[in-house]
Each structure stands twice: as structure tokens, then as C-alpha cells.
Amino acid sequence: MIKCTGLQGEFIKEALNIEVQKGSWAIYFKAQDEADEFFEMLLGFKKPLSGKLILMNKELNTISKEELFALRKRIGIVFPGGGLISNLRAWENMSLPALYHRVDSFEIIKEKGLKLLEELGFKKPPLTRISELTIFERVLIGLGRVFLLMPDIIIFHRIFEGLSGEEKGFIYSFIKSRKDFEGKAMLWILTQKEEEVFIPAVIFDTNEEVAK
């Protein structure tokens, strides 16, 4: 699904060599600049200074904009703090992408979404303003948004920052328990500030592969 060979950039100084297939994988970066740069490269927003980045069998440096947009549609992302739109309410943030891409009918998306809110332990009314949500609650809505989309690849980008140990544990346990994600590729882009979260997969500390 994702393969990097000799990848280097403005902040990623040492060549990054990884291959991510189905299952849960994590990359721990030493600094936020490195993590953010890799994330931007992965989505085609920034080109590497050297090396190759292959996403779903497509080398990003060689494909057209149309092909890149098509690949992005197959990726779901949970951002730091949820990455929500501030002028939309919680439920609108969660359901809009699935409605826009017509993943299911409105009735099915609503049914699935309300059930997800309950499973996520979201206690506030679905139409709560984003400004009234905690960081943890915003991440829960971001998770729900991705779960409704059901993409081929899910990227969790620095989502544990600003959360308590209990909140991190809940999020990871919830994701691990999702049977509907079996067979998907899940990539965690993390920094060393998030090391207390243990993801039982092959862990990469920027460039060095470490078996956990």
C-alpha cells in the first residue's frame, strides 16, 4: 500500500525506507517537522528531495493531478485535534464527507453515524458547536468521520498530542476493536512525545526499523 525508498526531504535528513501493507503500522519521528513533512509527501502536497514514494502501486512523483486526486479519495485521515471545520457542528463534521462522496444513503449514514457516536462514548448533543468540544471529543468526531467513509488506507496523524494517557488508551483500544477495519492499512504518524502509546506492529523510529 505504501512504500518509501531512500526518501529524504527538507527535514527528513536520513533516508527513510519503509513498506506498509495491511494491518496497523506506526512511524515515530524525532520532531514534528519531520512528521508533518512525511505526511505532506504522502498526500502529494510536497515532493521529496530524493527517493521514491509509492502509494497504492503509484509512484507519486510520476502521476498526474487527476490520478493523485483519485488516490486521495481512497485515504481517510484523522488530524491532530480532529481537524474539524469550525463553522460546522459536530454531527455535520462527522457526516459531511460520507454524504458528499455518497458512501451510502442519507438514512444509512445517519443510522451508522449515531451508532458510532454512542460507541465512541460521545456524550454531548450531535449538533454541539466545535468550540464547545474538548480536544478528545474533537478527535472522536474525526474518528467517526473516517469510520463512515471506510477508505482503503487510514492515516492517524499525530492524533495523540494533547490527550491524557486514558484518552489515548481508549482511542487505540477502540480502533483495534473495529472488525470492519480488518484488511485495511492503518498508518500512525507519531512523534517521540507520543511514545507511551504502544502499537503492536513494526515500529520505525524515523529511519531505523525496530521490532516490538
Instruction: Please give the Cα distance from 125 to 91 (Å, whole number).
Output: 9
pLDDT at 199: 55
CA 50-204-120 angle, 5° bins: 115
Per-residue pLDDT reduced to its tens digit, 56-110: 999 998 999 999 999 998 999 999 999 999 999 999 999 999 999 899 999 999 9
Tell me the three-class secondary structure of 152-199, residue by residue: CEEEEECCCCCCCHHHHHHHHHHHHHCHHHCCCEEEEEEEHHHCCCCC
Per-residue pLDDT reduced to its tens digit, 159-168: 998 899 899 9
pLDDT at 184: 82
Which among 149, 146, 192 is positioned nearest to 35, based on CA atoms? 192
Which among 102, 162, 173, 103 is positioned nearest to 137, based on CA atoms? 162
Instruction: Please give the Cα distance from 127 to 89 (Å, whole number).
Output: 5
Is residue 157 within 8 Å of residue 39, measured between CB atoms? yes
Confidence of residue 144 (pLDDT cuts 50, 70, 90): very high
pLDDT at 180: 76
Per DSSP, what are the bridge partners of residue 52?
5
Per-residue pLDDT reduced to its tens digit, 13-31: 989 998 888 777 888 888 8
Better-predicted residue by pLDDT, 143 or 203: 143
Residue 203 CA: distances (Å) to CA of 28, 140, 158, 168, 210: 7, 24, 15, 18, 6
Q: Is 80 exceeded by the pLDDT of residue 183?
A: no
Instruction: Please give the Cα distance from 5 to 89 (Å, whole number).
Output: 41
Confidence of residue 201 (pLDDT cuts 50, 70, 90): very low
Instruction: Report domain extents, the chain.
Output: 21-49+73-211
Q: Report the CATH superfamily, name and number, of domain 21-49+73-211.
A: P-loop containing nucleotide triphosphate hydrolases (3.40.50.300)
pLDDT at 125: 96
For 18-42, give one letter per residue: b (16+ CB within 10 A) or e: bebeebbbbbbbeeeebbbbbbebb
CA 191-120-98 angle, 5° bins: 85
Is residue 38 within 8 Å of residue 55, measured between CB atoms? no
Which among 189, 162, 159, 161 is positioned nearest to 174, based on CA atoms? 159
Give the rounded percent of residues in the chain with a pLDDT score beyond 90. 65
pLDDT at 203: 44
Instruction: Please give the Cα distance from 82 to 20 (Å, whole number).
Output: 23
